[in-house]
Amino acid sequence: MKKAIVIGASSGIGKELALRLARAGYAVGLMARRVPLLESLQKEIHTQTFVGAIDLTKPEEALKQAQAMIDKMGGLDLMVISSGTASINYDLHWEKEKQTILVNVEGFCILAGLAFNTFKKEGHGHLVGISSIAALGGNNHAPAYNASKAFMSNYLEGLRKKAFQEKLAIAVTDVRPGYVDTPMALGDHKFWVASPQKAAEQIFEAIRKKKEVVYITKRWSLIAYAMKILPFWIYKRVN
């Protein structure tokens, strides 16, 4: 039985993806801050599950918690890092920026490194990071959020290159969602909003096919293309 850990499994995309992986026969490690929600989710899953608390605002502790989960499960085939935070921050309050950087950059980075090194030791594995379409450009409403997602995408690309250069059987997938119907969907002018269930289904297909980069839902690849070619003198006028 393949073994997967989903970081951020208590709600949203992480929860739905944990359910989808379980239906595919994975043993699933469910990790998040809100353990009661994980225990409730565990009751919905009929394959082997493990529950563990993790808090990405404390990266060094999160590293130990994730390692303990890997040890408890007896190995790892797949890690999905779905935890993240976002804040509209017009006034650039440092505490909001700091929280975003702590979770989306430091917390993500320490877990991605753990997963990669675990897979390197075991000879195979698959790392999936849930970044965002926001990785493709800056945001005046939430500058740290977009910057943190750009960090995630570039870090995942670096690990993918590292696996190739070292001839390692490690797949690395960068998932870039557009709007998904979760509290993380910032802004007042949302469109093409997907349900967490639909997002999870498309992410599962990307995992199965070992995609390198995938936009969720697929139509967001059109927005990604436009963002890549849009001159900044136009982009800076877009709210």
Active-site amino acid positions: 145
Q: For 80, list phi and psi in degrees, rounded to 5.
A: -115, 120
Residue type, 186: L
DSSP string for 150-169: HHHHHHHHHHHHHHHHTT--
Q: Cβ distance 111 to 130 under 8 Å?
A: no
CA distance 212 to 51: 28
Residue 114: closest CA among 149, 157, 69, 147: 69
| Tokens matching residue 196 | 């967490």
